């Protein structure tokens, strides 16, 4: 590829592209290369390239090495990253400690705030799209796969995209917001809803609408289960701060800026050990729940959260 990259084994594949491990035989650097047929319209790989270039080299944003055409493919070369949280979670017997989940959340809120500040929503926040770095970046989480990311804010005109109904479901049903299922135009609040579902999934090991691999629910069944599951029921057995995350994301209007400082404060109040470290290297680390006196108050927290706390900054977007 590009006269310098030799393709190796497949690292992963999605609905629109295949990702390969590749080596630059000019300098021995190892990279990841995403290939998508030129026949794909619109090109998700080209879209991802443009978004990543705009996002620059932000913390936890994959570095673009090269983009171009190779034979009958769009090709995007990116820095090679480590395993996804999905893979690590499976290897850890589907258990993350509260400490790790809090630090995952803390990092990802920073990533989402950064992505949103450039006028984009990711649209597919899920464990498979969060990767750890390599080398000195093993404690850094990277958000990947911007193939269906979307601009929601036009900086030139300072306008938010209009609210629309009848939109197709984008992203992964298991972690999509109810609004996304219902065909409502996605916004920042929907990224936050997916983010909240994911953290709860890491604490509980599953979600009510996820079943075994042998019995996968349809998209409509997943929606029905989400609608029927109250926040109090979903968050039973986890610290009430996670119910707060869901209530807050649901309370946001379509064009409202999230108060990331408030969300971070919820999680940082739960830190149990040294801030910032992901304890993936401790395979027997148990999931730590809040004391029973805190757990049983989830329903009270849901009620107390409405209306939501006054944000530190008000959105100027309409």
* Residues known to be catalytic: 124
Q: Is there a contact between 88 and 200 (Cβ–Cβ < 8 Å)?
A: no
Q: Within 13 Å, how many C-alpha atoms sit on residue 65's CB side?
A: 19
Site of tokens 């850094």: 140
Question: Residues 262, 266, 267, 269: what is their CA dihedral angle, to the nearest 10 degrees?
Answer: 120
Q: Is there a contact between 207 and 196 (Cβ–Cβ < 8 Å)?
A: no
Q: Go through 256-269 and write b for each residue having 16 or more CB atoms within 10 A of its CB, e for each that does not.
A: bbbbbeebeebbee
Q: Is there a contact between 180 and 124 (Cβ–Cβ < 8 Å)?
A: no
314 labeled binding residue: no
Q: Is there a contact between 173 and 210 (Cβ–Cβ < 8 Å)?
A: no
Q: Within 13 Å, how many C-alpha atoms sit on residue 81's CB side?
A: 26
Rg (C-alpha) for the chain, rounded Å, is 20
Cis ω before 108 (30° cut-off from 0): no
* Partners of 18 in beta bridges: 13, 35
Paired sense of beta strands 150-151 and 73-79, if any = unpaired
What is the rounded CA–CA span in Å between residue 168 and residue 42? 16
What is the rounded CA–CA span in Å between residue 193 and residue 172? 12
- Binding residues are 34
- Binding residues for ATP are 34
């Amino acid at each position: 590829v590009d006269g310098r990259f030799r393709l190796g084994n497949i690292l992963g594949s999605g609905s629109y592209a295949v990702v390969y491990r590749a080596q630059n035989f000019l300098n021995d650097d190892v990279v990841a290369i995403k290939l998508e047929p030129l026949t794909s319209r619109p090109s998700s790989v080209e879209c991802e390239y443009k978004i990543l270039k705009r996002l620059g080299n932000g913390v936890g944003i994959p570095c673009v090495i090269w983009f171009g055409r190779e034979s009958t493919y769009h090709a995007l070369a990116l820095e090679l990253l480590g395993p996804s949280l999905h893979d690590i979670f499976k290897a850890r017997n589907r258990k993350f400690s509260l400490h790790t989940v809090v630090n995952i959340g803390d990092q990802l809120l920073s990533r989402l705030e950064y992505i949103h500040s450039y006028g984009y929503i990711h649209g597919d926040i899920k464990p498979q799209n969060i990767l750890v770095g390599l080398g000195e970046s093993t404690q850094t989480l990277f958000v990947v796969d911007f193939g269906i990311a979307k601009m929601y804010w036009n900086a030139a005109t300072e306008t938010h995209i209009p609210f629309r109904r009848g939109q197709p479901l984008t992203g992964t049903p298991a972690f999509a917001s109810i609004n996304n299922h219902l065909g409502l135009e996605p916004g920042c609040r929907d990224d936050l809803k997916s983010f909240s579902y994911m953290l709860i999934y890491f604490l509980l090991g599953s979600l009510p609408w996820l079943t075994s691999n042998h019995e996968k629910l349809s998209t409509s069944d997943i929606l029905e289960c989400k609608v029927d599951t109250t926040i109090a029921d979903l968050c039973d057995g986890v610290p009430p701060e996670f119910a707060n995350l869901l209530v807050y994301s649901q309370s946001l209007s379509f064009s409202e800026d999230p108060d990331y400082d408030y969300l971070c404060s919820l999680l940082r109040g739960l830190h149990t050990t040294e801030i910032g470290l992901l304890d993936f290297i401790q395979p027997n680390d148990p999931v730590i729940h809040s004391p029973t006196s805190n757990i049983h108050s989830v329903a009270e927290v849901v009620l107390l959260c409405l209306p939501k706390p006054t944000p530190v900054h008000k959105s100027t977007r309409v």
